[in-house]
Amino acid sequence: MPFLAVNANADQPVAVVPQPLDEALERQLAVLPAGAPVLVMLHGYRYSPSHRRNDPHRAILAPGSQAQPQSWPRRMGFGRGSADEGLGIAFGWEAGGSLWRAYAEAGRAAQALAALIALIRARHPGPVGILAHSLGARVALAALPQLAPGDVGRMVLLAGAEFAAVAQTALASPAGQSAEVLNVTSRENDLYDFLFERLLAPFDLLPARWVRGWICRTAPRSRSTRPITAPRSSAWATPPPPPPGSSATGRATGAPACSRFTAPS
């Protein structure tokens, strides 16, 4: 099964298997058919690869026979034996401890994520897809300014946790401009979002506003309505372009388009 577990070691990515990351990537990418996607999955708050009990690679990011019922790789279609299922990469980072510590660590993990994507892009012609939850969204967004246009094709954030001003700055970067970004949330997160805003507001210019429930496409991309639990992961390839002169929201191309989206709770 094309699958690789990676951890952020400070600002550098390292393979969980006892093998240099570049060699592990070479081996996995070499067997991918043309056009097969690469998807990086990032967990959120409280997981820690250095603590067995909270290790995401033993829980939501566990692959194959180790997979828990909530396993992301399994739900994204990895391990089903399809020739074009692509490469799934589970990205672990130190999100345990206090909220302040995890928020700061997410910024450092973003450097490791950017380095990982650069390694992939040097060996794989297609863009990389990203699926991130909670504070994993901060990791994903903070990696965008460190990447080149086209490095990230599609990014789906589940209840993304980051301040709006920081997120918009990331989306305005060259890599952010060329990516399709979707943040999905539900009313279940209202209390959680409120506490995050109040606890972390001193680290942001007031008034602080937490990112929640928005869809932003700063490049003219078409809308894709594919369930994230679909049995195949090929939807993470480059999304198709919209008709000439139009965007996902019907506006003229070239201008950022943001609209609110709230998933049913």
Walk me through the domains of the chain, giving residue ranges and CATH numbers: 3-260 (3.40.50)
- CA dihedral (76, 79, 81, 82) positive or negative: positive
pTM recorded for the entire structure: 0.75
171 within 8 A of 144, measured Cβ to Cβ? yes
Q: Residue 204: what pLDDT? A: 43
Q: Which of 184-188, 206-210, 212-216, 260-264 shows the lowest mean pLDDT across its residues?
A: 260-264
Q: Residue 230: what pLDDT? A: 39
Tell me how far apart the alpha carbons of residues 16 and 10 are, in angstroms, rounded to a whole number: 14
Q: Which of 82-91, 94-103, 110-119, 220-229 shows the lowest mean pLDDT across its residues?
A: 220-229
Q: Residue 195: what pLDDT? A: 55
Name the band, by pLDDT with cuts 50, 70 and 90, for residue 62: confident
From residue 54, give the alpha-carbon distance in Å to each of 42, 106, 133, 217, 258.
14, 17, 16, 34, 35
Spatial strand order of the sheet with 38-42 comes to 12-15, 3-9, 87-92, 38-42, 128-133, 152-158, 180-184, 214-217, 257-260
Residue scoring higher pLDDT (67 or 219): 67
Mean of all residue pLDDT scores within the chain: 75
From residue 144, give the alpha-carbon distance in Å to each of 96, 141, 219.
23, 5, 14
pLDDT tens by residue, 9-26: 989 999 998 889 999 999
Q: Residue 190: what pLDDT? A: 57
Q: What is the mean pLDDT of residues 204-223?
A: 40
Q: Does 231 have pLDDT greater than 50?
A: no
Name the band, by pLDDT with cuts 50, 70 and 90, for residue 165: confident
Q: What is the mean pLDDT of residues 173-196?
A: 75
Burial of 250 from C-beta contacts in 10 A (0-12 / 13-18 / 19+): exposed
